[in-house]
Amino acid sequence: MAIISIVSIFSLLLWYIYKLTIQSYMNNFVAIDFETANADRSSICQIGITEVVDGILQPSKSWLVQPEGNDYDAFNIHIHGIKPEDTENSPKFPDVWKEVYPYLKDKVVVAHNTSFDMYALRDALDSYQIEYPTFDYFCTLRIARYIVKGCYSYSLDVVLNYLGIEFDGHHKADNDSAGCAKLLLKCLDMDGSTLEELEEKYHFHRGKFAPDTFIAHLAINKKSKTEMLESLEEHPELADEGNYFYGKNVCFTGTCSYGTRKELLQKIKNVGGIPSDSVTKKTEVLVVGQQDYRVVGEDGMSKKQIKALSLLDKGQDIEILSEREFLSRI
């Protein structure tokens, strides 16, 4: 018995040392943020970076960048406050990239809404025919939605305020990168997990940059969307013929603020509705969550919304609801 106890204690000690080593490694990362001058995602006008070393935030760095033609849209100026005169004497992206690149090479990189930031980086690199760097990346917007429950919005300023984390101001690249870093550290602490463990626990995949390779973080292809729909549980006893969504084909677009996409689709399934992953001629209800202006553009509409409006114009009966309206009827 004594030998078994010693072996057990030794095994626990090894596990504890391993856990601390992994957590220390995964608490070394770089948070990045981009601001753009116009609707072209390659029009980067500011870059912000915050390094985290052994769980400690380092001073943030930022660079102003002159976009091609120093061309700005009024909409973008309204968001971040950067104007043409602020960047008329600033270096262009290739020159700034020489300074930024060493911070990212072979590192773990995070951003809040990688569907914008990493595509902005990709498009800028493509625009100037610069070889892609090598690094893995994660999205704190997605991670926060899994871990931080009850927040009405997961935009960076809102979720940081909800968690009581100090934030110096939104849509300034250095501030946003620091806020992103703080948010990830808080999420890792709340969940008690490393980034690798979060991948396995919440079934997402990191994104990757490498020469001639770009893989989106948490990209959901048609197969995985189908798998998500097929994984919804059957509860025929909960079907409610009196419910607004009973028998209706329902689709979602945007970021869900009141649960994961799967959780809300399960609600539809439970009452006897028909959850769907795309807008088609069968769609009867489109539920619109939060849209990121930097992804959908100035009109604020996703491809699903645009298609739904097109079908409406052709006479199809589709109701477009906000997420709150959806929850009030479910």
- pLDDT tens track, the chain, 330 positions: 555 556 556 555 554 544 444 444 457 999 999 999 998 999 999 999 999 998 899 999 999 999 999 999 999 999 999 999 999 999 999 999 999 999 999 999 999 999 899 999 999 999 999 999 999 999 999 899 889 988 888 899 999 999 999 888 778 999 999 999 999 999 999 998 888 888 878 877 889 999 989 988 754 544 566 777 888 888 888 889 999 999 999 999 887 777 778 888 999 999 999 999 889 999 999 998 876 555 545 556 788 888 999 898 888 889 999 888 898 888
In the block, residue with structure tokens 């729909």: 229
Q: Residue 228 and residue 28: Cα distance in Å, rounded?
A: 32
Is residue 226 within a helix (H) or strand (E), and if so which, with residue range? Answer: helix 222-230
Identify any residues that bridge with 215 across adjacent strands, giving them in sequence order: 208
Tokens of 322: 């906000």
Tokens of 170: 């939104």
* Residues 40 and 127 sit within 8 Å (Cβ to Cβ): no
DSSP codes of every residue in 166-205: ----TT-HHHHHHHHHHHHHHHHHHHT--HHHHHHHHT--
pLDDT computed for residue 6 by the predictor? 60
CA–CA distance from 148 to each of 115, 143, 154, 160 (Å)?
20, 8, 9, 10
Catalogue all structural domains in the chain, each as residue range(s) with its CATH number. Answer: 12-215 (3.30.420.10), 222-329 (3.40.50.10190)
Report the alpha-carbon angle 213-116-190, nearest 5: 95
| 146 exposure class (CB count in 10 Å sphere: 0-12, 13-18, 19+) | middle
pLDDT computed for residue 152 by the predictor? 81
pLDDT computed for residue 234 by the predictor? 86
Tell which residue, 46, 45, 230, 195, has the closest CA to residue 110: 195
